[in-house]
């Protein structure tokens, strides 16, 4: 009941704390949203100010555009006036040229008239001179006058009249000449004035044309400038319009979001109030439960006193049951050890069967290889082959008999609770009962590297994986068997002298066969492989004596552990309360976990040591073929 009360109070405290945390989170979120709204309002005010500034800039740009248009119209008017002045100057120039041409024609006419008048004057002077000379002539003959006075008077009168007419013509000619000179002077003056006027008009035209060109260039520059400004102003106007629209849309979205958030906050506040009211109701209900629990607690204390008396009796009964359970546990552990021994024996038998099958396959391959070698040897020396085949047949029959006897012995031993194994099955029979897989004759020169690899694989360890493999040390998992029983079974399995004698005999026989049959490179290779195999078997035989002792040690360790655990259990206090009993159990569990961790570490260390030993043995194996090959070469 106290635990229930504590849990109820804790749940109440937790609910109050959660409510406070929720209220704080809601208030903080509301404050954050209010600050965001304030910042949004400030940004909107800034954007409104920017829009007003942009509008003022637009007005300024429009006024500058109007002034630029006025300047354009004024410059166009000036250009038109200048063009009109230029046209007037051109017309005056044309008129002056026409008057100049007319005056030039008049000059030419006056010059022709002058020349004509000069010719006439010269001719008249000549005539006057000619008229004066005959008058002198008439004066000399005075006597002739007397003869014709009237005719002479008439001639004189006529001549005088002619002279006067000629004088009058001279006067007229001189007057005309003077007039022509005056006209020529007037024409020259007029021509000078016209030339000066034309020069002035040309200068004015050039200046006006230059001014017009400058004004046109200025106009173009101003137009381009105003066009660029207009484009920029239009772009700015468009940009400002877009910004204004975007700001308006953002403001509308912000207002909509704020309204949605306001509604969400209002809903959150309502929900929080509802939750608060619900929690308050739960608190009231829990307070009622507390009062009821206190009353129940009082009654429970009274009942606890009664239950303690009952518990004392139950503890006494539990101690008795514990002792019975300890006895049962001992029997169970003994039965488990027996079961573990049987399981190990089964596993060992299955593994050895698998290894025997593998060795049988390898032996068949070796038989085929030896038969092929025998076939090659028969080609070289038939007689020697017949003798060797007879030897092999006799040995094969003897080996078969030995195998049958060993199978019977092993069956008897297995039925009696032990297990036996004969090394001669592994050493002799695989080498002497082989059937030819292929009878093709191949010389050493035509041999492929794949065949060499297959020979190496055939020459590998046939006992690899079994208990006779020196590299395969005793595993920590398959160790829980009885040491004394295992020692007895192993002591009855092999005798070192028998195995050594069998290995030596087989080695001598096979060495003799190899020396007789194998020649050249192929013979040397097979010889190396055979010698290597027998060396490995002898090394493995030495390692077998170590394996049983290791297995027995592991079995003893396995037996010691449950006994120690039982001892610890017996040491537990007989009378413990509920809480103290739980603490003790937890401590024991922690200790067991620590022990398991230590065991795992030990297993890892043993695995690492096994790997190191395997590497060392592989190195030794690599070194052995080199030493054997060196001995054969010597």
Domain that holds residue 73: 2-139+155-277
Q: What is the DSSP string of 383-432?
A: HHHHHHHHHHHHHHHHHHHHHHHHHHHHHHHHHTT-----HHHHHTHHHH
- pLDDT in the model for residue 499: 47
Residue 465 lies in a domain: no
Residue 527 lies in a domain: no
- The CATH number of the domain holding residue 10 is 1.10.287.2610
- pLDDT in the model for residue 547: 47
Weakest mean pLDDT among 95-99, 470-474, 503-507: 470-474
Weakest mean pLDDT among 118-122, 255-259, 532-536, 591-595: 532-536
Examine the pLDDT at 261 and tell me if it is beyond 60: yes
Range 241-278 burial, b when 16+ CB lie within 10 A, else e: eeebeebeeebeebeeebeebeeeeeebeeeeeeeeee
Torsion of CA 218, 219, 225, 227, to 10 degrees: -170
Q: For residue 478, which phi and psi values (nearest 5 degrees)?
A: -90, 30
Instruction: Over range 445-461, report the average pLDDT.
Output: 43
Weakest mean pLDDT among 13-17, 166-170, 408-412, 433-437: 433-437
Rg (CA), the chain: 74
- pLDDT in the model for residue 252: 83
- pLDDT in the model for residue 370: 86
Nearest to 418, CA basis, from 347, 494, 350, 489: 489
- pLDDT in the model for residue 389: 65
Residue 441 lies in a domain: no
Weakest mean pLDDT among 260-269, 382-391, 408-417: 408-417
With pLDDT > 70 as the criterion, what percentage of the chain qualifies? 61
- pLDDT in the model for residue 550: 46
Residue 165 lies in a domain: yes
The model's pLDDT over 179-199, given as tens digits with 9 standing for 90+, comes to 777 877 777 787 778 778 778
Instruction: Over range 128-152, report the average pLDDT.
Output: 52
The model's pLDDT over 262-295, given as tens digits with 9 standing for 90+, comes to 788 788 888 878 888 888 888 888 888 888 878 8
- SS3 for 439-478 is CCCCCCCCCCHHHHHHHHHHCCCCCCCCCCCCCCCCCCCC
Instruction: Over range 316-343, report the average pLDDT.
Output: 85
Neighbours of 5 (CB within 10 A): 16
Interacting residues of 574 by C-beta distance below 8 A, sequence separation 6+ = 315, 319, 322
Range 43-64 burial, b when 16+ CB lie within 10 A, else e: ebeebeeebeebeeeeeebeee
The model's pLDDT over 566-616, given as tens digits with 9 standing for 90+, comes to 444 444 444 444 455 566 677 777 888 888 888 888 888 888 888 888 888
Domain count, the chain: 1
Chain position carrying tokens 């409104």: 48
Residue 524 lies in a domain: no
Average pLDDT, whole number, for the chain?
68
Weakest mean pLDDT among 210-219, 353-362, 440-449, 516-525: 440-449
Examine the pLDDT at 78 and tell me if it is beyond 70: yes
Residue 104 lies in a domain: yes
Examine the pLDDT at 390 and tell me if it is beyond 50: yes
The model's pLDDT over 6-30, given as tens digits with 9 standing for 90+, comes to 776 777 777 777 777 877 777 787 7
CA distances to 426, 429, 471, 542 from 496, rounded to whole Å, are 16, 20, 20, 9
Instruction: Over range 244-252, report the average pLDDT.
Output: 81
Cα–Cα distance, 131 to 167 (Å, whole number): 13
Cα–Cα distance, 179 to 173 (Å, whole number): 10
Cα–Cα distance, 468 to 461 (Å, whole number): 10
Residue 162 lies in a domain: yes
- pLDDT in the model for residue 486: 39
Residue 600 lies in a domain: no
- pLDDT in the model for residue 317: 82
């Amino acid at each position: 009941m106290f635990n229930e009360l504590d849990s109820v109070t804790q749940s109440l405290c937790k609910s109050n704390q959660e409510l406070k945390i929720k209220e704080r989170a809601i208030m903080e979120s509301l404050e954050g949203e209010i600050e965001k709204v304030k910042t949004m309002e400030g940004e909107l005010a800034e954007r409104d100010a920017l829009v007003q500034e942009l509008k003022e800039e637009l007005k300024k740009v429009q006024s500058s555009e109007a002034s630029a248009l006025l300047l354009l119209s004024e410059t166009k008017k000036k250009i038109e006036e200048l063009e009109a002045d230029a046209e007037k100057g051109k017309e005056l120039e044309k008129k002056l040229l026409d008057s100049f041409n007319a005056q030039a024609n008049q000059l030419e006419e006056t010059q022709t008239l002058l020349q004509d008048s000069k010719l006439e004057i010269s001719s008249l002077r000549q005539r006057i001179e000619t008229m004066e000379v005959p008058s002198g002539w008439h004066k000399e003959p005075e006597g002739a006058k007397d003869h014709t006075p009237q005719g002479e008077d008439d001639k004189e009168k006529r001549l005088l009249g002619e002279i006067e007419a000629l004088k009058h013509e001279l006067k007229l000619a001189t007057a005309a000449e003077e007039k022509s000179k005056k006209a020529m002077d007037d024409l020259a003056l007029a021509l000078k004035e016209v030339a000066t006027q034309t020069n002035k008009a040309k200068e004015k035209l050039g200046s006006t044309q230059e001014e017009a060109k400058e004004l046109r260039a200025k106009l173009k520059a101003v137009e381009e400038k105003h066009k660029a400004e207009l484009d920029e102003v239009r772009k700015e106007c468009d940009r400002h319009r877009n910004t204004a629209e975007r700001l308006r849309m953002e403001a509308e979205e912000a207002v909509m979001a704020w309204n949605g958030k306001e509604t969400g906050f209002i809903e959150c506040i309502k929900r929080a109030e509802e939750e608060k009211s619900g929690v308050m109701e739960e608190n009231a209900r829990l307070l009622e439960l507390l009062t009821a629990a206190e009353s129940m607690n009082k009654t429970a204390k009274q009942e606890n006193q009664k239950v303690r008396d009952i518990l004392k009796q139950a503890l006494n009964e539990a101690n008795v049951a514990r002792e019975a359970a300890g006895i049962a546990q001992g029997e169970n552990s003994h039965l488990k050890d027996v079961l573990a021994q049987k399981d190990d024996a089964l596993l060992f038998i299955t593994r050895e069967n698998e290894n025997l099958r593998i060795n049988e396959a390898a032996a068949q391959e070796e038989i085929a290889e030896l038969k092929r070698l025998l076939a090659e040897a028969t080609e070289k020396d038939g007689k020697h082959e017949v003798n060797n085949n007879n030897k092999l047949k006799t040995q094969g029959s003897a080996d078969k008999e030995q195998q049958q006897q060993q199978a019977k012995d092993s069956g008897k031993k297995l039925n009696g609770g032990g297990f036996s194994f004969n090394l001669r099955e592994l050493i002799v029979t695989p080498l002497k009962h082989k059937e030819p897989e292929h009878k093709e004759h191949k010389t050493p020169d035509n041999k492929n590297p794949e065949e060499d690899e297959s020979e190496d694989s055939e020459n590998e360890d046939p006992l690899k994986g079994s208990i006779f493999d020196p590299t395969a040390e005793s595993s920590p998992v398959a160790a829980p068997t009885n040491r004394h029983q295992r020692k007895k079974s192993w002591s009855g399995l092999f005798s070192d002298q028998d195995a050594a004698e069998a290995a030596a005999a087989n080695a001598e026989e096979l060495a003799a066969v190899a020396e007789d049959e194998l020649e050249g490179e192929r013979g040397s290779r097979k010889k190396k492989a055979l010698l290597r195999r027998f060396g490995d078997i002898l090394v493995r035989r030495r390692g077998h004596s170590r394996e049983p002792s290791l297995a027995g040690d592991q079995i003893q360790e396995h037996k010691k552990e449950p006994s120690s655990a039982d001892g610890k259990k017996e040491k537990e206090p007989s009378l413990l309360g509920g809480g103290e009993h739980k603490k003790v159990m937890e401590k024991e569990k922690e200790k067991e976990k620590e022990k398991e961790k230590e065991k795992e570490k030990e297993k890892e260390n043993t695995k690492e040591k096994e790997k190191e030993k395997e590497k060392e043995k592989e190195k030794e194996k690599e070194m052995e073929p080199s030493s054997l090959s060196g001995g054969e070469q010597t």
